Amino acid sequence: EVQLAESGGGLVKPGGSLRLSCAASGFTFSSYSMNWVRQAPGKGLEWVSSISSSSSHIYYADSVKGRFTISRDNAKNSLYMQMNSLRAEDTAVYYCARSGGFDIWGQGTMVTVSS
Amino acid sequence: DIVMTQTPLSSPVTLGQPASISCRSSQSLVHSDGNTYLSWLQQRPGQPPRLLIDKISNRFSGVPDRFSGSGAGTDFTLKISRVEAEDVGVYYCMQATQFPRTFGQGTKLEIK
Q: Is residue B10 a contact partner of residue B16, using CB atoms and an 8 Å limit? A: no
A26-52 confidence digits (pLDDT tens): 999 999 999 999 999 999 999 999 999
Q: In this prediction, what percent of chain B has a pLDDT beyond 70?
A: 100
Element housing B70 (H / E)? strand B67-72
**Total count of residues recorded for chain A:** 115
**Distance between CA atoms of residues B7 and B41, nearest Å:** 15
Neighbours of B46 (CB within 10 A): 6
**Distance between CA atoms of residues A83 and A90, nearest Å:** 9
Return all residues near B33 (Cβ < 8 A) that are at least 6 apart: none
Q: Which residues of A touch B106 (CB under 8 A)?
A: 44-45
Which of B29, B97, B101, B102 to mutate: most A Cβ within 10 Å? B101
pLDDT for position B61:
94
Neighbours of B15 (CB within 10 A): 11
Q: Is residue A60 a contact partner of residue A68, using CB atoms and an 8 Å limit? A: yes
Confidence of residue A100 (pLDDT cuts 50, 70, 90): confident
Q: Which residues of B touch A68 (CB under 8 A)?
A: none
Across the interface, do B37 and A108 touch by the CB < 8 Å criterion?
no
Query: In the predicted model, is pLDDT for residue A101 greater than 90?
Result: no
Nearest CA in chain A to B95: A101
Confidence of residue A99 (pLDDT cuts 50, 70, 90): confident
A54-96 confidence digits (pLDDT tens): 999 999 999 999 999 999 999 999 999 999 999 999 999 999 9
**Distance between CA atoms of residues B41 and B52, nearest Å:** 5
Hey, is the C-beta of A102 within 8 angstroms of any chain B C-beta?
yes
Neighbours of B88 (CB within 10 A): 15
pLDDT for position B82:
97
Across the interface, do A95 and B49 touch by the CB < 8 Å criterion?
yes
Hey, is the C-beta of B35 within 8 angstroms of any chain A C-beta?
no
Amino acid at B54: D
Give me the total of CB pairs closer than 8 Å, taking one residue from chain A and one from chain B.
Answer: 53
Report the pLDDT averaged over residues B43-55. Answer: 98
Nearest-neighbour CA in chain A from B83: distance (Å): 23
